[in-house]
Chain A
Amino acid sequence: MDTDTVTLFFALLAVAAQAAVVVVVVLAVGRRWSPALARAHRRVVEEVGPQALGLAAAVAAVCTGGSLYLSEVAGFPPCRLCWYQRAAMYPLALVLAVAAWRRLHRLRPLVAAVAVVGGAVSIYHLLVERYPSLETTSCDPDNPCSIIWVERFGYLTIPAMALSGFALIVALVALARPSAQEAP
């Protein structure tokens, strides 16, 4: 399978993640005004809530795998800002897996904080891609953060995919609830 196919797959996953985040945000905000949205929100929390930490762990694991694919298989060397995002994403995969397995719901704020920091770096990286003068006035031949290695659908660059992952992790962590059986 070639790099083009795989990056397209990642881009589609990112679009799905963005759609999921939009749904969660719309439900969370809209439930204040619309009884129908409030019902839908309750339903989603009921269905997804108990699985949300596990799903978030899966998202972090896919992002980690994707990031390793891009650097180790596709051969795109990670830049400085990529490494900051990796520093947030890689531990999330582990911590979320343990949190899901041991039902450690009290870790939610910690996990969300790490994901928000990672997402903030992604946003800055996106800005550097669009406005390279934020970081430099000329390009180092080595590996400036402003190089766009992958761009899908006109907007999905690698940090945009990372941001989608971080946002979905935050959304899932926000939905996470102990199941009725575990509830005290």
Chain B
Amino acid sequence: MTTTRRPPARPGAAPDRGRAVWIGGLVLVVLLGIVAVLVAAGGDDEVDEDVASRQTAPVEVTTGSGTTVEAPADALLPTFEEGAADEAVGRTIPTVTGRTFDGEELTIGPDGTAKVIVFVAHWCPHCQREVPVIVDHLADAPMPDDVELVTVSTAVAPDRGNYPPEAWLEEEGWTAPVLADSEDGAAATAFGLKTFPYFVAVDADGEVVQRASGELPPEVFDQLVEAARTGEPPT
């Protein structure tokens, strides 16, 4: 500070007072910056590298008959469009083979069991709301013995929040097996995912009966389960 003489408080003294306001503001900002650096240095909520590495895994996509797909278009279900007649109905689902978060091999495909496949993304708020709805519903009305519930955790993005998906699904009490999709979402693409949450009801013959997306109320989820079990879409 070069000013040593402070003029008495009068209207003409505004510029000097103004400097005090600016200096005060600047000091506050610098202090907050120092606090941020100190606090952030102390906290360490980084996700362990091991955990991070198992949130996605390579996925192999094959046709229903078991040949590895060179031209994937053959095996893929068409992209799901809400409201339009679903061209995927009646088509055999592809087989996707990958790993669970525990590193165990998991295959989802036409294996003789009817199933409902749920695709979720950890950062998607609609998925975050749908998962507990299904968990609560299944506590009251479990899946029938002849229909399986399987999950694909896709679109993993560590910076998008609610990461890692493994911790999220465990916290929600999600017990169905979870396939960790590949980084480029091979399983989601194979099943024609457009938005999440995304549901594919598959009958015992491995054919698509119905597909849906969005937050589904329990009764609509039940319709999907019933569609998978009977092979008949709801009328």
Interface residues of A (CB under 8 A from B): 1-6, 8-9, 12-13, 16, 46-48, 50-51, 54-55, 58, 74-76, 129, 132-133, 136-141, 144, 146-149, 151, 179-181
Contacts and interface: CB of A to CB of B under 8 A. Distances in A.
A58 B25 contact: yes
A76 B25 contact: no
B195 to A, nearest CB: 4
A6 B40 CA distance: 9
B126 A147 contact: no
A114 B213 CA distance: 38
A55 B18 CA distance: 10
Contact of A149 (B14, B32, B126, B160): B160
A13 B159 contact: no
Contacts of A151: 161
Contact of B14 (A5, A74, A144, A179): A179
A136 B159 CA distance: 22
Contacts of B198: 138
A113 B155 CA distance: 40
B40 A4 contact: yes
Contacts of B33: 9
10 contacts: A48-B21, A50-B17, A50-B18, A55-B25, A58-B25, A132-B129, A137-B213, A138-B198, A179-B15, A181-B12
B126 A139 contact: yes
B124 A16 contact: no
Nearest to A44: B21
Contacts, number: 104
B21 A139 contact: no
Interface string B19-49: 0111001001100110111011101000000
Contacts of A137: 126, 213-215
A181 B185 CA distance: 66
B191 interface: no
Contacts of B101: none
A20 to B, nearest CB: 9
A12 to B, nearest CB: 4
B196 A141 contact: yes
Contacts of A4: 40, 43
B125 interface: yes
Given A138-B197, A141-B196, 19 more contacts: A2-B40, A50-B14, A50-B18, A51-B21, A51-B22, A54-B22, A74-B159, A132-B129, A133-B126, A138-B126, A138-B198, A139-B121, A139-B196, A140-B195, A141-B155, A141-B185, A144-B125, A149-B159, A181-B12
B32 A9 contact: yes
Contact of B127 (A58, A75, A139, A148): A139
B215 to A, nearest CB: 6
B39 A8 contact: yes
